[in-house]
Amino acid sequence: MLNALLSGDLPRSRGLTLILLAILVGLAFAPFLFPGTRSLNTAATICVFIVLVASYDLLLGYTGVVSFAHTMFYGIGAYGVAIMLELWPASWGGILLGSLAGLAVSIALAFVIALFSLRVRAIFFAMVTLAVSSAFMILASQLSGLTGGEDGLSYRVPRELGPAFKLIDTEILGVKVDGRLLNYYLVFLASAGLVLLLLRFVNAPFGRVLQAIRENTFRAEAIGYRTVIYRTIAVCLSAGVASLAGSLMAIWLKYTGPDTTLSLTIMIDILLMLVIGGMGSIYGAVLGATLFILARNYLQNLMDIGASALGDLPLLPALIDPDRWLLWLGVLFILSVYFFPSGIVGRLRAGR
C-alpha cells in the first residue's frame, strides 16, 4: 500500500525516512504544532516550493535538461488564478478556471519551446528558456491592465478560504477552525497529491527512460527511444506541475506579482534547493525546499539571538549580525555542496 503510494520509490535509508516523516508530520499538523500567521505562512510556502522544486527535478535531475523558464510557468499558474479572481472575485469558479487556464497555457507554451529548441543542442534549450522567460517578465510588467504591472494583483479568494469563515465554532487544540486553516489544508493536500504524482511519473517506465536519456542520450536512441519525444513530454509535465504550484501560491497569498512568481531570484532559489537536497530524487526536492525556506525565514532570528547572546565580545557579534544572514546562507550552501556533492539525499542513501 505504502509502496504503491510512493510508486515503489522507498527512502532506502533510515535517516532519510526519519527526516521525511518529520517533514510530513510537521507540515500535516503545522497549524497545530506551530500556531501563528508567520509559521503557517512558512509551512504553506514550503508545501508549494516542494512541488515547484520537485517538478524542476523532473527536468534537471531526471532528464538532464537545463531550463530557466520554470518560474515563468509558476507565474503563469499564479497569474491565471489572479486574473480570474479579479474578474470573478471570491469565486471557486475563478480558482478552477484560472488554474486550468494557467495549466493549458503553460503546457502549450512549454510544448512550443520544446518543439523549436529541443531538437538542437541541449544548451540551446537553456538559452531559449532564458530568453522567453525574460521576455515574459517584461510582458507581465508592461501589460499592467491585465497583470497589475510591477504592483501585481491583490484579490479576494472564496469566503470559505478566508479568516472570517468559521467551519465549527469550537477550537481544536486552541486553534480556530477558520477558512485560513482550510486554505492551508487545500495547499497541503494539493501539494502532497502533486508530489505523489511526480513520484509516480519518475518511477513509471517513462521516468526510467528519462534517466536513461540523462545517462546516455546516444544509447537511449540506439535501443529505440526517440529522446526528443520523451524530453518534450518531460518539459510539458514539468511546466504543468509548476503552473499548478503557482496557482496554489496565488490562492494562499491572495496576491500575485512579479516578485513572488516570475523573478529570476526564485529561479536561483529553486536551483539551490534542488542542489542542496539532491538532484535526481523527488525526496531531494522535499528536503532541499524545506531546509532552504526554514533557513531563509529563521536564520535571521537565530543570528539575532546569537548576536545578542555574545554581547560585547569583539568582532563575533558583528559577524553574526542578522544583516549578514545572506552571507551565512551562502556559506551554508557552499558547505553543503562541498560535503554532499550528490545532495543530502545522495549522502543519506550512500551512507546507509
- Closer by beta carbon to another protein, 205 or else 311: 205
- Closer by beta carbon to another protein, 142 or else 216: 216
Which positions from 210 to 239 touch another protein by CB under 8 A, shown as an x/- string? -xx--xx-xxxxxxxxxx-xx--x------
Site size toward another protein (CB under 8 A) is 29
Under 8 Å between Cβ of 59 and 234:
yes
**298 sits near another protein (criterion: CB under 8 A):** no
Residue with cell 509535465: 237
- Shortest separation between residue 245's beta carbon and another protein, angstroms: 19
From the list 174, 205, 311, 314, which residue makes contact with another protein (rule: CB under 8 A)? 205
**267 sits near another protein (criterion: CB under 8 A):** no
**193 sits near another protein (criterion: CB under 8 A):** no
Distance CA 240, CA 297 (A): 28
φ, ψ dihedrals at 206, nearest 5°: -60, -50
- Closer by beta carbon to another protein, 196 or else 332: 196
Under 8 Å between Cβ of 344 and 335:
no
Distance CA 179, CA 31 (A): 12
From the list 115, 208, 323, 331, which residue makes contact with another protein (rule: CB under 8 A)? 208
**201 sits near another protein (criterion: CB under 8 A):** yes
φ, ψ dihedrals at 172, nearest 5°: -105, 120
Residue with cell 495547499: 187
Which residues 6+ apart lie within 8 Å of 247 measured at CB? 77, 78, 80, 81, 95, 98, 99, 102, 103
Distance CA 337, CA 324 (A): 20
**325 sits near another protein (criterion: CB under 8 A):** no
- Closer by beta carbon to another protein, 121 or else 208: 208
Residue with cell 510508486: 7
Under 8 Å between Cβ of 122 and 68:
no
**71 sits near another protein (criterion: CB under 8 A):** no
Bridge partners, 175 (sequence order): 172
Candidate ranges 100-108, 203-211, 238-246, 306-314; the one touching another protein (CB under 8 A): 203-211
- Shortest separation between residue 8's beta carbon and another protein, angstroms: 4
- Closer by beta carbon to another protein, 121 or else 166: 121
- Closer by beta carbon to another protein, 215 or else 259: 215
Work out whether the CA dihedral 40, 254, 51, 60 comes out positive or negative: negative
DSSP string, 290-352: HHHHHHHHHHHHHHHHHHHHTTT-SSHHHHT-GGGHHHHHHHHHHHHHHH-TTHHHHHHHHT-
Which positions from 8 to 27 touch another protein by CB under 8 A, shown as an x/- string? x-------------------
DSSP string, 170-228: S-BTTB--BHHHHHHHHHHHHHHHHHHHHHHHHHSHHHHHHHHHHH-HHHHHHTT--HH
- Closer by beta carbon to another protein, 159 or else 219: 219
**352 sits near another protein (criterion: CB under 8 A):** no
- Shortest separation between residue 10's beta carbon and another protein, angstroms: 10
At 264, which helix (H) or strand (E)? helix 264-277
**121 sits near another protein (criterion: CB under 8 A):** no
CB atoms within 10 A of CB 222: 9
**49 sits near another protein (criterion: CB under 8 A):** no
From the list 59, 95, 194, 209, which residue makes contact with another protein (rule: CB under 8 A)? 209
**290 sits near another protein (criterion: CB under 8 A):** no
CB atoms within 10 A of CB 168: 9
- Shortest separation between residue 261's beta carbon and another protein, angstroms: 27
**343 sits near another protein (criterion: CB under 8 A):** no
Interaction site with another protein (CB under 8 A): 4, 7-8, 200-201, 203-209, 211-212, 215-216, 218-227, 229-230, 233
